[in-house]
Amino acid sequence: MSCGYLWFEEIPLPAVDFISEHLREDCESFVFKDEDVLILTYPKSGTNWLIEILCLICSKGDPKWIQSVIYLIRNPRDVLVSGYLYWSTSNFIKKPESLE
């Protein structure tokens, strides 16, 4: 189970060309500004959809919305199939060997 993934905070992520130590360093050194918005999603769970929603909310000009939390959830089985199909044809990610 541990092979073929980029492990971070005990979460298996699609393997890309960097290592979890670099990811941790980036997380720990990142300085947030008050106006920053944090999007935290698992790949293929609807990240781009959420970005669109946030941009639409943001463009209404009301800064109070950033104090809200939008909880996005997608059936993990759909995430698995979506990732399998997408990463099977991507060149920047290690190709999954199977759905298992």
Ligand X SMILES: CCc1ccc(OS(=O)(=O)O)cc1
If residue 48 lies in a helix (H) or strand (E), which one and from where to where? Answer: helix 47-58
Distances (CA, A) of 12 to 7, 19, 37, 51, 94: 5, 12, 24, 23, 13
Tell which positions 60-99 bind ligand A3P, by CB under 6 A.
78, 82, 86
43 sits near ligand A3P (criterion: CB under 6 A): yes
Considering only 14, 44, 93, 96, the residue that binds ligand A3P (CB under 6 A) is: 44
Candidates 9-17, 26-34, 51-59, 60-68: pick the segment binding ligand X (CB under 6 A). 9-17
Residue 43, class by beta-carbon neighbours within 10 Å (0-12 exposed, 13-18 middle, 19+ buried)? middle
Per rule CB under 6 A, is residue 46 in the interface with ligand X? no
- List contacts with ligand A3P (CB under 6 A): 41, 43-49, 78, 82, 86
